[in-house]
Amino acid sequence: MIVRMRERVVAACDGASKGNPGPAAWAWVMSDGSGAPARWEAGPLGKATNNVAELTALERLLAAVDPDVPLEIRMDSQYAMKAVTTWLPGWKRNGWKTAAGKPVANQDLVVRIDELLDGRTVDFRYVPAHQVDGDKLNDFADRAASRAAVVQEPAGSALGSPEPPPAPDVPAKSGARRKAAGGTSPRRPGGSSARTIKAKFPGRCMCGRPYTAGEPIAKNDQGWGHPDCRTAAAG
């Protein structure tokens, strides 16, 4: 159902993939007048990559808002944001080819987003992910997408779904306050941090499998890698 509002809408969207590729999902959330989460929706994608999930979240959000309504979109995916704000014009000029002459990845989603952006006012705002006291909308969308990826079931305010639970690998606020006061942040057994971030560059986990830029990673005793591998090593 398309949301029809007269005033500017502030929203966030996010995608999640447990394995990249792996069980994936998308989510978006719109704020009320105070900036708190109000309307939201999340849906499963089966097996997909982080990038597909992130782009799908953006596509579903744009499709849910009337095109005449000014929109602010908060995202923690630099790939999805740059794809539609920086790289897209060049891809179109090159016949949907990259500067290297290769086909644009996820072209169907990018084309659909381009169509949905045509003629409308949209401001994109990058917000860092997994920050204590960070952006409430982005955190909500992140949790909703993560939950939908795990259970592979749709959810949302229209379905009467409860607020998505906190992600298990995000540090608690109390721990962050202890760190700010000179203490230490929460750590898992084996000395690995409970915090996850999105990789800025591709790399290889201690398990031998690679991870891509944008994929969630966590610190372990040997560097950075998959959050699941950190937990397994700690156990």
Q: pTM for this structure? A: 0.70
Strand partners, 176: none
pLDDT reported for residue 3 = 55
Question: Residue 155: exposed, middle, or buried by beta-carbon count in 10 A (0-12, 13-18, 19+)?
Answer: buried
Residue pair 103/111 in contact by the 8 Å Cβ criterion: no
Amino acid at 19: G
Which has the closest alpha carbon to 57: 31, 71, 75? 75
Structure tokens at 2: 């398309």
Helices (H), the chain: 50-64, 78-82, 88-93, 107-117, 136-151, 173-180, 227-234
pLDDT reported for residue 82 = 94
Residue 31 and residue 11: Cα distance in Å, rounded? Answer: 6
pLDDT reported for residue 168 = 55
Q: What is the pLDDT along the chain (235 residues), one digit of tens a residue?
A: 555 545 899 999 999 999 999 999 999 999 997 888 999 999 999 999 999 999 999 999 999 999 999 999 999 999 999 999 999 999 999 999 998 999 999 999 999 999 999 999 999 999 988 776 779 999 999 999 999 999 999 999 999 999 999 865 444 443 333 333 333 333 333 333 457 788 777 777 766 677 787 788 887 666 777 777 765 444 4
pLDDT reported for residue 170 = 45
pLDDT reported for residue 148 = 97
pLDDT reported for residue 202 = 74
Residue pair 55/36 in contact by the 8 Å Cβ criterion: no
Give φ, ψ of 45 to 5 degrees: -125, 5
